[in-house]
Amino acid sequence: MIERLLIALVLLALGAILYRVYTARQLKRTSATNAIDPLLMGARPNTPIILYFTTPDCVPCRTVQMPVLDKLQTDLGENLQVIKVDATERPQDADRWGVLCSPTTFVIDSNGRTRAVNHGTAFYHTLRQQLSGVVE
């Protein structure tokens, strides 16, 4: 019984480590290509961005994520730009950014560096914390 528990714990730890490595590589890769990415070409210069990938049938996107992003946009005004991307209409963009699920949000600072990625719903306090030091 103890052996099974230890095996399960090792597998969980390995999964967590692999996820952190994947996320770190994703942040590094996207930061390197943000300056030439077509999704960001029309963005306001020197303005932090939340790049938000969604799908039409994503219930958490409509019921949780979009209201959170609307509140952030209201609170921060011109100091934040939210770019919404439908992953079903633009699958090549979702692939390029490494989107695994919807919703997925990327927090990009005013220098174009990807600061955080959230696979799944990102709540207000999480995004606000990720934006601290990025938004004046």
Mind listing the pLDDT tens digit for each residue in 54-70? Answer: 999 999 999 999 999 99
User: Looking at residues 62-86, what average pLDDT do you find?
Assistant: 97
Does 10 fall in a domain? yes
Distance CA 83, CA 62 (A): 15
Domain containing residue 89: 2-131
The total number of structural domains in the chain stands at 1
The domain that holds 114 is classified in CATH as 3.40.30.10
**pTM of the predicted model, to two decimals?**
0.85
Average pLDDT over residues 91-108: 95
Q: Establish if 121 belongs to a structural domain.
A: yes
Q: Is residue 136 in a domain?
A: no
- For the beta carbon of residue 92, count every other beta carbon within 10 angstroms: 9
Whole-angstrom distance, CA of residue 49 vs CA of residue 83:
7
User: Dihedral sign, CA of 128, 23, 86, 48?
Assistant: positive
Measured CA to CA, the distance from residue 2 to residue 132 in angstroms comes to 43
Model confidence over 104-117: pLDDT tens digits?
Answer: 999 999 988 999 99
Residue 128 has pLDDT above 90, yes or no: yes
